[in-house]
Structure 1
Amino acid sequence: MMDALHFLTAASLLCVAAAPPPLLLVFVNELMTWPDAQSFCRQNFLDLVTVSSMEDMMLLTDMVDLDAMVYNSSDFKHRAWIGLSEDLNSWRWSISDPNFYRDGEAAFRNWNVGEPNNYLGAESCGVMTHFGGFADVECVRLMKPICCDVQGHDASFVFIDQPMSWPAAQSFCRQHHTDLASVRSSSESEQMKGLVQSAGEKAAWIGLYRNTWLWADGSNVTFSHWRPPGPNGSVESCAASALSDGGVWENLLCSRLLPFFCCDVPGSKQVVKVKLVKSSSLDLGDPAVLADLLQQFEQKLKKDSRVEGDVKLRWIDQSDGRIFHQDE
């Protein structure tokens, strides 16, 4: 991506925390939904807690008096929110270059009726069906992909007559072509529908995918403590720890009311308002774009001799849930 500081426009709030580890852990014995718990943690501390090891998990279970924990349903007694959730709406294309998309093209979606449905909580990769619409399926399924070759804004599509998983399809397309195919318009959707029908397939991989489980600070899950067989259900997309059962994780409806764990750092925090100038079709609502911006800001701050210690950045949602607002 080009240096985003030169071509973005909008105003937003950026939280900067410069401090060494370890994190401070805080148990909040009040009933809140997962989104409200996250807002509380971000306003008063750093964020909902990230659990990186079994040692972290034991620290959490040891710091809570189970008999004193509040609850509003005996079925969910001794549960507390942690900072793990699944963004069911984070669909994006494998091709992330903003110059490949004109206004609105990166957000084009043509879901079949009833899709995406995240069946059994395990569907996070997209296919083009022979009906001409998108569907979400498990990324491990073996299906034939549609790759694309890109020249500037133009793209041509190639059907690959070889079944593979979505990650393998992405690797194959990037090695032999440009990438898995993006679908930017109804006309491109019709082209790929024709490829699927001509091949006699019910569906084929395209470059559509979404984030699965991530920590509230945006980091990937490197340690797992799910109750077997793991997260399930299509809409239970927030994680709680069952403290009376070794702290095992369960996925629950984010609207449930539970106590929760926050974390903080023993350092300084600053809120910085960022105003940027736009001359690009960059999608400021795309989580991948926002993550890339944070990385660029972090790199610049780390090179600044006036900033001491480690630097951790995150965007702050404003009252309407948005990060950026266009200046009039």
Structure 2
Amino acid sequence: MNGIPDIATNAKWTSDGWRAVSGLNKIHFFCLNLIVVQEKKTWEEALVHCTEHHSSLTSLLSKSETLLAQNRIRNATVTEEIWIGLRYLGDSWLWVNGDPLVYSSWPEGGDQDHLCPIWRRCGALTKEGVWENIGCHEKLHFICA
């Protein structure tokens, strides 16, 4: 048969790296379009910008999404921290687009101000891939989805 396989072989990413899979397998996937905006804005100004020009400030729902965002900001000339769609309201951290907060990337040990923030009630992602709570009035670059 001309050396062409009957079933296409594709690849998927796993926690152990790339793996070959049959073209007939059904595999879950997600698309994440991240736009790094290199304009310094307050958290609320960034939210308005993302809502008007894209979808919203990004939610980082998994380690994979955090790594993708981290990769995008490492390659850009952006502030050390960038705004993400994380906000402390009432008594808990919430994603502004309504996504559930099931994954977190707060730093281990050290400053635990994020547990009950008084002044720093907006979330940012650092170039090291951890979240920081920062005063919402600070002006940072940001990442939209």
TM norm structure 2 = 0.71
Q: Which residue of 210, 223, 234 maps to 2:118? A: 234
8 Å contact kept, 1:213–1:220: no
Distance (Å, rounded) in 1 between the aligned partners of 2:45 and 2:76: 24
Distance (Å, rounded) in 1 between the aligned partners of 2:123 and 2:105: 11
Which residue is equivalent to 2:54? 45
Letter in 2 for 1:61: Q
Which SS does the other structure have where 2:132 is aligned? strand
Which residue is equivalent to 1:317? none
Note the alpha carbon deviations across 1:63-118, whole angstroms, 9 max, x for none.
2245622x4xxxxxx11011110114xxxxxxxxxxxxxxxxxxxxxxxxxxxxxx
Counterparts of residues 1-328 of structure 1 (less than 5 Å): 22-65=31-74, 68-69=77-78, 71=79, 78-88=80-90, 124=91, 212-229=92-109, 230=112, 231-232=114-115, 233-243=117-127, 245=128, 247-263=129-145
Note the alpha carbon deviations across 1:8-50, whole angstroms, 9 max, x for none.
xxxxxxxxxxxxx523111111100000000000000000001
Which residue is equivalent to 1:182? none
Distance (Å, rounded) in 2 between the aligned partners of 1:218 and 1:67: 28
Letter in 1 for 2:119: V
Distance 1:28 1:67, change over 3 A: closer
Note the alpha carbon deviations across 1:166-211, whole angstroms, 9 max, x for none.
xxxxxxxxxxxxxxxxxxxxxxxxxxxxxxxxxxxxxxxxxxxxxx
Distance (Å, rounded) in 1 between the aligned partners of 2:104 and 2:43: 19
Flag the structure with more relative contact order, 1 or 2, with Cα contacts below 8 A and sequence separation at least 6: 1
Deviation, 1:58, is 0.8
Distance (Å, rounded) in 2 between the aligned partners of 1:67 and 1:22: 21
Deviation, 1:227, is 1.3
What is the total number of aligned residue pairs between the two structures?
Answer: 113
Distance (Å, rounded) in 2 between the aligned partners of 1:242 and 1:65: 9
Distance (Å, rounded) in 2 between the aligned partners of 1:65 and 1:219: 25
Distance (Å, rounded) in 2 between the aligned partners of 1:240 and 1:60: 11
Note the alpha carbon deviations across 1:303-327, whole angstroms, 9 max, x for none.
xxxxxxxxxxxxxxxxxxxxxxxxx
Which SS does the other structure have where 1:62 is aligned? helix
Distance 1:67 1:82, change over 3 A: closer
Distance (Å, rounded) in 1 between the aligned partners of 2:36 and 2:77: 12
Distance 1:68 1:235, change over 3 A: same
Distance (Å, rounded) in 1 between the aligned partners of 2:75 and 2:123: 19
Q: CA RMSD in A?
A: 1.9
Which SS does the other structure have where 1:48 is aligned? coil
Which SS does the other structure have where 1:221 is aligned? coil
Which residue is equivalent to 1:288? none
Q: Which consecutive segments of 4 or more residues in structure 1 shift more than 3 A?
A: none
Which SS does the other structure have where 1:84 is aligned? strand
Structure 2 gap segments, 5+ residues each: 1-29
Distance (Å, rounded) in 2 between the aligned partners of 1:45 and 1:82: 14
Letter in 2 for 1:32: K
Structure 1 gap segments, 5+ residues each: 1-20, 72-77, 89-123, 125-211, 264-328
